[in-house]
Amino acid sequence: MAQLRNKRVLILERHFTAGGFTQTFRRKGFSWDPGLHYVGQMETGSEVRNLFDLVTNQQVQWQKMPELFEKFIYPEFTFDLYDDPKRFQADLIKQFPKESRAIRQYFKDIPKAATALFLDAAKHNSTFLFKLIGTVAKLWHGTSLSLTTQAYLDQHFQDPQLKALLASQWGDYGLPPAESPFALHATIVSHYLNGGYYPLGGSGTIAKSVQQIVEAKGGQVLVSREVTEILLDDGRAVGVKVRNLRAKEETIEDYYAPVVGSSAGAYNTYLKFIPDTCPIPFRKSLQQFLDAHPPATNVSVYIGF
């Protein structure tokens, strides 16, 4: 918004450090990166790299990880993952020769399923042309978004160790194989087929570069600001009510803007920040979905040796 639309942007962050998961912190000489651990598709010229270069104004440099960038360790076996999809496939076949045909099919299905997820998102959020392309492309990829990762693995593979190995990256997208769409699994697998990258200086460089861009355009980043309500005028968002967590006494601040964007999640945005008096057509269905699939809470412990 700041670079392409010349907007003054105000970022309100509840934490005392800006950046969310794109930050690092130090304690007693140890440095930790709480969110970003590696990013794929960061080779020069890729779409993902171009996007990051735009967002950070090319202020962040990316270091490629070693060829052996990931290792899966199970009680009965280990598997080394290199940054070459052909070697990945060959190593799988070498370790599970009886499943060679299914493994080759898996590597054909991965790009199709990843494309299916991308086109579905484009179909819902883009122009008529993208909707048409998404409909026609479905004949090519043939992937149903209701197909789970576990269902795909059970349909194509027999060896339980191979199934476990192929599903090992589910921690990257947060849902176990029985609950995750295979298309989402395929997107993550595709993302790391050519290895991983890490930003020089840690992921905090991303947040710092964004803050510099925002401030250079007359915007501001305020930390320790907890949004408690989205302010409405005739059903339209016009600002936010904020609690200043740094103030010694409870201090409420109001900020107004022609555009309000929330990255606090659907639950907080629609069921906590918007008053009950405002009619939202999907309020009940969203609540029912959250009752059936409550948000997960994660606790991370950082230990230095």
pLDDT at site 296: 74
Q: Which residues contact 214 (CB under 8 A, 6 or more apart)?
A: 2, 9, 11, 220, 221
pLDDT at site 145: 86
Residue-wise pLDDT tens digits, 88-139: 999 999 999 999 999 999 999 999 999 888 887 777 766 777 666 666 666 5
Please give the residue that has the higher pLDDT: either 42 or 139. Answer: 42
Residue-wise pLDDT tens digits, 153-201: 999 999 999 999 999 989 888 889 999 999 999 999 999 999 999 999 9
Residue-wise pLDDT tens digits, 267-292: 999 999 998 888 899 999 999 999 99
Nearest-angstrom CA–CA distance, 231 and 83: 48
pLDDT at site 74: 94
CB distance 78 to 208 below 8 Å: no
Q: Which residues contact 12 (CB under 8 A, 6 or more apart)?
A: 222, 225, 227, 240, 242, 255
CB distance 220 to 214 below 8 Å: yes
CB distance 116 to 141 below 8 Å: yes
Q: What is the mean pLDDT of residues 249-258?
A: 94
pLDDT at site 36: 84
